[in-house]
Structure 1
Amino acid sequence: MTDVSVPEGYRKGPVLLRRGQVPSTTTDQRLLARGEGAEWVHSDPWRVMRIQSEFVEGFGALAEVGPAVSVFGSARTPRDTPEYAMGREIGRGLVEAGYAVMTGGGPGIMEAANRGASEAGGLSVGLGIELPHEQSMNAWVDLGVNFRYFFARKTMFVKYAQGFVVLPGGFGTFDELFESVTLVQTQKVTEFPIVLVGSSYWRGLLDWLSGPVLDAGTISPHDLKLLHVVDDPAEAVHLVREKDAQLQAAEEAARTAIPVDPA
């Protein structure tokens, strides 16, 4: 067997380059070169830096928010509808219960919840997203953070929330709902309450989950218990408070538990 000589290679940060992959110029030379175009700002490495900056900015802005609840619902809900009124009442009720209110910062249900929170003198948070067809941050947001990437924004909704309240909405609302259920089901996050408001709106979805989906064995009966359905805004707030208190008590008990001497 003939020994193959392995070239030492060229180090480019953590990357090892050999043979035809070795560049003719160094990274510093390219950084300081004149006359380069702007194509590099659209490259994947640069996107990684933007993603990192979104997490840093989001964590920094929300670190001192305190206990909060994420409220989701349609951006298309008019102000003169019962759903808007419920969103506004829920926002107010959550603040009175000691929570900040986080929404996507847009119009409709999001505006309603932010408005209720702001009118009650609480912290009203909006986590916006860059979209071609949606309005800017609603006027009732006191602390707003805009994101380019959905996954960075979703992380903030989950990381800083003690619960989710979900009012009638479309695909975006469904996306947030099922992601939160999945995180709880797979124990990626501590179990927190997920409250659906409006039984008539959610009935078809729940019938499908408890029927064909459960019958197929793709979910378990316990998974259905992760969703709580109410029609009363006050009951939605009560469920969040009750579950949050239970979780805090369990965490405190775990911290103060005295280890048992195996001897």
Structure 2
Amino acid sequence: MEIETLDELDDHLASGASLRGLRLQDLDLTGYGEQLAARGDLTGLVVLGGTVPLGVAELLLARGAILFPGIADTPVDPWRGLYLATDLYDGLENGYAHTCDARTYAWFVDARLRTDAYCTLVRAIHDDSVTDELDEFVFGRSVVGIMGGHALQRDSAAYARAAGLGHRLAEEGHLVATGGGPGAMEAANLGALCRTHEALEEALGHLAAVPGFRSDVTAWARTGLAVRRAVVGDEPQPPSETLGPSARSLGIPTWFYGHEPPNVFCDVIAKYFSNAIREEGLLARSNAGIVVLDGAAGTVQEIFQAVTPLFYAAEGAPLPPLVLVGREHWTERMPVWPALTAIAAGRPMAQAIHLVDSIDGVLPLLAPPAR
């Protein structure tokens, strides 16, 4: 049983229930020494990070608890879980290189640390914490995954169409999930963030001033954050754990592709070190369907990763639809569709894959959200 707030811990202590099997995650245990001491044997209690004063730590260890201390000398807190855009872009006033996101990427690719056992442990703990909170965040939600290339420019018609798709999906009650990066991913998250067509049109106009991220990530991110503030106001964004069903979009990026900065329009960001865990996490959680917009090698890889569970699905198992948008792109420029139809021949997945000419054909193919 995981205890993630002090209120939960107080309730559990007051109930008199056993502490064996509890996981106290990222809590400030200052002032809890006497209450824990009164419980006697603490074997089976696991304390994960947080603030643990020396006296409390000595008590925990002496009574048989397992203590994972806070992690030092890393740019991220591995116990924290999900991020907000403002978390990753903290420090942007001094340029992108000074942000939490950029500093974490620099730490991740540091050749001296890539195989260091301590750093490997930190990354594993971090990604597990993200997954744990992500599972709670999407529980009970209808999730539509949107895939597409990172190179799509903000001032393009294709970007506007992707944003329109994100908006329509969110209005239908779906949680819009993307890879959390620039291009088509940013567009879909932007569309979901905007509550009206008018707000979306205005946002697109402002973003066109800095159409891409490659020449100046700082200007790209600052423009995005300014647009976000115009859309949602200057009120601080609530913590990810309080958003619940009010969230409309989710980004799942990775520091493995550190050259792609995360977009700022996601309500919540689940950023991973492991790209394999990140990709599987996005696909597995897209329970209402996956929509694939124009893309190149990375998008093609994701398509076939999504196809594998469809191919091996048992007869009668519910299969989320996989919808490719753009007949010319997926039959000529990136001829993926012929391969998909050949793989699906004679199998249940043949009913789950679709090729449509435009975004207008997407929504009728997706599983409707529960009302």
| TM-score above 0.5, yes or no | yes
Q: Does 1:164 align with 2:164?
A: no
1:120-158: CA deviation from partner (whole Å, max 9, x where unpaired): 385221111114552321121120121111111023212
The match for 1:105 is 180
Structure 1 portions without partners, runs of 5+? 1-38, 246-263
* Cα distance, 1:40 vs structure 2: 8.3
Alignment of 1:29-44 (within 5 A): 42-43=115-116
Alignment of 1:140-179 (within 5 A): 140-162=265-287, 163-179=289-305
The match for 1:23 is none
Q: Does 1:138 align with 2:263?
A: yes
SS of aligned partner of 1:63: helix
* Cα distance, 1:67 vs structure 2: 1.6
Distance 1:96 1:135 in 2: 28
The match for 1:248 is none
Distance 1:120 1:101 in 2: 13
Aligned residue identity for 1:117: A
Contact 2:150 2:181 in 1 (8 A): yes
- Kindly name which structure, 1 or 2, has the bigger radius of gyration based on alpha carbons: 1
Q: Does 1:209 align with 2:334?
A: no
Q: 1:47 to 1:111 in 2, by over 3 A?
A: same
Number of paired residues? 203
The match for 1:117 is 192
Distance 2:186 2:344 in 1: 34
Aligned residue identity for 2:260: Q
Distance 1:210 1:105 in 2: 26
1:160-208: CA deviation from partner (whole Å, max 9, x where unpaired): 2121100010111111111111111112885110011111111232564
Distance 1:207 1:154 in 2: 21
SS of aligned partner of 2:149: coil
The match for 1:24 is none
Contact 2:290 2:321 in 1 (8 A): yes
Distance 1:130 1:210 in 2: 30
Contact 1:93 1:234 in 2 (8 A): no
Q: 1:116 to 1:127 in 2, by over 3 A?
A: same
Q: 1:187 to 1:209 in 2, by over 3 A?
A: same
Instruction: Select the residue among 312, 325, 328 that pairs with 1:200.
Output: 328
SS of aligned partner of 1:228: strand
Q: 1:227 to 1:56 in 2, by over 3 A?
A: same
Q: 1:49 to 1:237 in 2, by over 3 A?
A: same
The match for 2:136 is 63
SS of aligned partner of 2:264: coil
Q: Does 1:54 align with 2:182?
A: no
Distance 1:42 1:73 in 2: 32
Contact 2:256 2:274 in 1 (8 A): no
The match for 1:251 is none
The match for 1:14 is none
The structure with the greater share of residues assigned to strand is 1
Q: 1:207 to 1:236 in 2, by over 3 A?
A: closer
